[in-house]
Amino acid sequence: MLPFGRVAIIGMGLIGSSLARAVRAAMPTVRLTVSDGDALVRERVRALDLADDVTDHAGAAVVDAELVILAVPVGAMAPVAAEIAADLAPGAIVSDVGSVKARVLADLVAALPGVAVIPGHPVAGTEKSGPDAGFASLFADRWCILTPPADADPAQVTQLAAFWSALGARVETMDAAHHDRVLAVTSHLPHLIAYSIVGTASDLEAVTRSEVIKYSAGGFRDFTRIAASDPIMWRDVFLHNREAVLELLGRFTEDLVALQRAIRWGEGETLEALFTRTRAIRRSIIEMGQDDARPDFGRSHEG
């Protein structure tokens, strides 16, 4: 039995279009309605046959949906929720895929009184954007974290979990604030560091910009991939997970200063001890199947 027969997805970017592809592949009989504000995107969605119906208005997409998933930047969740509020079918579940959860939960509950809101976050993505960047297997063997409010109906949480499991994801449930602290460590701070380091390198005067690009070895090149992520999405992540990111950034800055001191005073054992500890973390990530053990993440070495 399918968890839902009629699903609506609002926003057909990387995540929304991957979700549409995954639903088409795993649950071909689901009636899928999607909406996007951009006419060119709607044209691509039709050409790629990603949905049964494509509309320009979010309200029109949700009228008879049993599950509505908002796949827009975190800062756009509240206005989009307000746009669909009057059109939601009785009993519909509203969820999302946003990378921040406490603010999104609060925004959705405020905009949709009396509606079953169960936020979610598939911890899967790439640095690309738009409907052509999506692919059906994006969520396979990746975590999807659901952050239901305390008063959520457990049967509806199970139903949403079954939906994500059918797409190949591994589902975990946690409190929204806890999610935001965990993701601040595993995703948000690393992105901030990447944005910062790539910005610094491009500002250097002693090393030309063309040298930075020409001699970019593994380390810097990996940062540039992360720093190529969508500017709007990441602007919203930092503005909406402010407290957790700032707290962690304070801690990180202290640790960085400690490393600076170890380098200055030639404390090799301090550096070696840290680098040994971090290597073990990398090994555990590979053992858990969350990355590839091949050198350079399996990418071919060009030059």
The string over 97-115, giving b where at least 16 C-beta atoms fall within 10 Å of a residue's C-beta and e elsewhere, is bbbbbbbbbbbbbebbeeb
Task: Rule CB under 6 A: say whether 16 interacts with ligand NAP.
Answer: yes
Task: Rule CB under 6 A: say whether 94 interacts with ligand NAP.
Answer: no
**Taking CB under 6 A as the criterion, which residues in 207-226 touch ligand NAP?**
none
Instruction: Return d(Cα 149, Cα 66) in angstroms, integer.
Output: 19
Instruction: Return d(Cα 9, Cα 34) in angstroms, integer.
Output: 5
Beta partners for residue 55, in sequence order: 35
With CB under 6 A as the contact rule, the residue among 20, 32, 74, 116 that binds ligand NAP is: 74
With CB under 6 A as the contact rule, the residue among 69, 97, 161, 192 that binds ligand NAP is: 97
Instruction: Return d(Cα 133, Cα 129) in angstroms, integer.
Output: 6
With CB under 6 A as the contact rule, the residue among 11, 119, 120, 148 that binds ligand NAP is: 11
Nearer to ligand NAP, 80 or 153 (CB): 80
> What sign for the dihedral angle of Cα 169, 175, 177, 181?
negative
Task: Rule CB under 6 A: say whether 13 interacts with ligand NAP.
Answer: yes
Nearer to ligand NAP, 127 or 267 (CB): 127
Task: Rule CB under 6 A: say whether 59 interacts with ligand NAP.
Answer: no
Please identify, among the stretches 23-31, 32-40, 255-263, 268-276, the one whose residues bind ligand NAP according to the rule CB under 6 A: 32-40
Looking at residue 132, the DSSP 8-state letter turns out to be: G
With CB under 6 A as the contact rule, the residue among 23, 32, 71, 244 that binds ligand NAP is: 71
Task: Rule CB under 6 A: say whether 125 interacts with ligand NAP.
Answer: yes
Task: Rule CB under 6 A: say whether 147 interacts with ligand NAP.
Answer: no
Instruction: Return d(Cα 278, Cα 242) in angstroms, integer.
Output: 26
Instruction: Return d(Cα 98, Cα 120) in angstroms, integer.
Output: 7
Instruction: Return d(Cα 123, Cα 138) in angstroms, integer.
Output: 10
Please identify, among the stretches 73-81, 177-185, 240-248, 270-278, the one whose residues bind ligand NAP according to the rule CB under 6 A: 73-81
The least CB distance from residue 225 to ligand NAP, in Å, is 12
Instruction: Return d(Cα 270, Cα 263) in angstroms, integer.
Output: 9
Task: Rule CB under 6 A: say whether 241 interacts with ligand NAP.
Answer: no
With CB under 6 A as the contact rule, the residue among 7, 8, 12, 32 that binds ligand NAP is: 12
The least CB distance from residue 206 to ligand NAP, in Å, is 34
Instruction: Return d(Cα 165, Cα 139) in angstroms, integer.
Output: 9
Question: Contact 10/68 with Cβ under 8 angstroms?
Answer: yes
| Single-letter residue type at 285 | I
**Can you give the binding site for ligand NAP, defined by CB under 6 A?**
11-16, 36-38, 41, 71-74, 76, 80, 97-99, 122, 125-126, 129-130, 230, 233
